[in-house]
Amino acid sequence: FPCAAHGRWRGAPRGPPPLVRPGAQPFTPADRSIHQPGAHREQRGMARSKARVYTCCLLLVIMMIAIIVIITVTTRRTCADDTFSKAAVAADTRKCSEIGREMLQQGGSAVDGAIAALLCTGIMNPQSAGIGGGSIFTVMDRSGQVKIINSRETAPSQVDPDLLKSCPLNLAGSKWIGVPGEIRGYELAHKFYGKLPWATLFQPTIKLAREGFPIPPVQGLFIPFINNSLTPRKLYSDETGTLLKTGDVIKFEKLADTLELIANKGADVFYTGRVAKDLVRDVQQEGGNLTLDDLASYKATVTDAWVVPVGEYQMYIPPPPSGGPLLSLVLNIMKEYQMRSAPLSVEEKIRFYHRYVEAFKFANGLKRHIQDPRFKSEKMAKEIIAESFAKHIGTLISSDRTHNNPYYNLTAYLDSLGTTHVSVLAEDGSAVAVTSTINHMFGSKVYSPSTGIFLNNELSDFCGRVDNIFPGERPPSSMAPAVLKSKWETLVIGASGGSMITTGLASALIHHLWFGKSLKEAIDTPVVYVDSENKVKFEPQFDEGVIKALRAMGHKNETARKFYNVVNAVEKKDGCICAVSDDRKLGKAADLLVYSVVTHRVHSRLQLDKTSDMAQFEAP
């Protein structure tokens, strides 16, 4: 383009300016137009030249913008097909993940999504969790601040003084019921972090409970557990008295009524209102000692998270009486061996798993120090998370043999099952890891027919104590909902499975963060579990060569028939979000950007009814 030439606009007059006589006035533009007949043409030429210059500059700007856009698009990392770019929810079931996602789609917060998903889990997997239990939230807001909301059950004011003498013979029944904290936990979390109206979080589950749905395979698997419990048997029986099974339609109409009351009137109706009165009456008719004062005096708590370095991450965990400190201990012990890749040879695997099992045996011996800090000192628990303590434990691990239980200061306690976990990562960067439980399968197996609530048996977590239980005390727990944060990445993770929670989390974190496996591969890795008696149990797919070698080193081991460690996690890395719901519980995660669930198929490790229809399970 002929924008400019040698500092002179094209079309400008050439030659020297007209002469001006001394003392005469210089020509004005009007004079020039009179004395120079071509002046109008020159002015039009100058205008055209300026227009060309402006056009040229505009084109240059457009070209520069286009180049920047092309470079940005071609160099930007694209997310894989099984990852997302906005937000995700990972719960135990596909339906509950989707309900959590619906809250995010409506502009809700990560906490809104988590609460809605937990309410759903209370009917999709009522054997594991529900509003008759308690939970622990680890919440990271959009600024990166992390808080813990603890709404675990507490001991009622009238605890049977001989209760712990019943361990472990009979852990069902009303005497094991702790004061439920679930709804107070939801209330507190929503107060600080919620965006949507309280009632909105309840509506999807109320609708599902009223209309009914086919019993999912996992719930169906555990229905026989309530065979001898008359009250819940009525819920799970058809008109002929036959127990329902996987695929049969079930409705939770009484629970829907209760949830509607809570949605419309708030949490107080559960703790001081109509629901409280109905619940206490039903429990006392079963011989329990829960009182209206116990419910009215219950309070959820907010505390700072404990922070532990894990490689380039900061891991935020709940303090005692949660299992966070013991998870930290195992990771710190294994970190001392400086493994940067997965063991490949048989010898490497044997060495790794021997050390791993020994770390858990020492962790089992330290469980007695994980107690409610309102009643016991946190001093020893804080020592447990210190790297120096892990180094000391490492010096006690023999490279070629194991030891008898007194070497680890093991105190008898009970293994537990149950629980559920939800991980949520919202578009604004806020995150929630929340674990909820009624403890054992169907909790105490006490069902409140007036409210539709299954009550927990959380007091059994005190088994192994040598001193008394204090009224209002929270029992120790393996629950360890965690948020890990590095400069560029966020990992929201937690697990269910009772006592298996710690081994599920430790295995997933080690294989993902240190050994470089994808999040799904790490969660799918077969695990080894050290139980309350330091017996070593292996998931069915575990390496047989390693099992034999560990047995030869003195470990008392066996292959477990079923494993219930279930890890649900959401990770944001390089701008892409990966969400994994453990297929051990037929879980599926849901994302926000693409309105469909994760596309990978699952292959359950549970023994399911062969006549059950997977499509029926996925349909609700």
Is residue 565 a known part of a binding site?
no
The HSE-up count of residue 299 (CA atoms within 13 Å, CB side) is 4
Token pair 């028939």: residue: 561
Contact 564, 556 (CB under 8 A): no
Which whole-number Å values give the CA distances from 126 to 77, 423, 539, 617, in the listed order? 41, 19, 25, 15
As given in the structure block, the two tokens for residue 548 are: 């034999």
Is residue 498 a known part of a binding site?
yes
Residue whose C-alpha is closest to residue 317's, from 493, 115, 480: 480
Examine the residue annotation and report whether 419 is marked as an active-site residue of this protein.
yes
Residue whose C-alpha is closest to residue 286's, from 132, 441, 121, 413: 132
Query: 414 by DSSP, 3-state: which?
Result: coil
Is residue 170 a known part of a binding site?
no
User: How many angstroms separate the CA atoms of 86 and 250, rounded?
Assistant: 35
Q: Residue 66: enclosing H or E segment and its boundaries?
A: helix 39-75
Length of the chain: 620
Backbone region of residue 426 per phi and psi (left: phi > 0; alpha: psi in -120 to 50; beta: other values): beta
Backbone region of residue 314 per phi and psi (left: phi > 0; alpha: psi in -120 to 50; beta: other values): beta
User: How many angstroms separate the CA atoms of 322 and 136, rounded?
Assistant: 8
Q: Which of 83, 121, 402, 419 is catalytic?
A: 419
Is residue 395 a known part of a binding site?
no
Is residue 130 a known part of a binding site?
no
What DSSP designation does 474 have? P
R_g of the chain computed on alpha carbons = 33
Is residue 439 a known part of a binding site?
yes
Active site residues: 419
Annotated binding residues for L-glutamate, written as ranges, equal 152, 437-439, 461, 477-478, 498
Annotated binding residues, written as ranges, equal 152, 437-439, 461, 477-478, 498
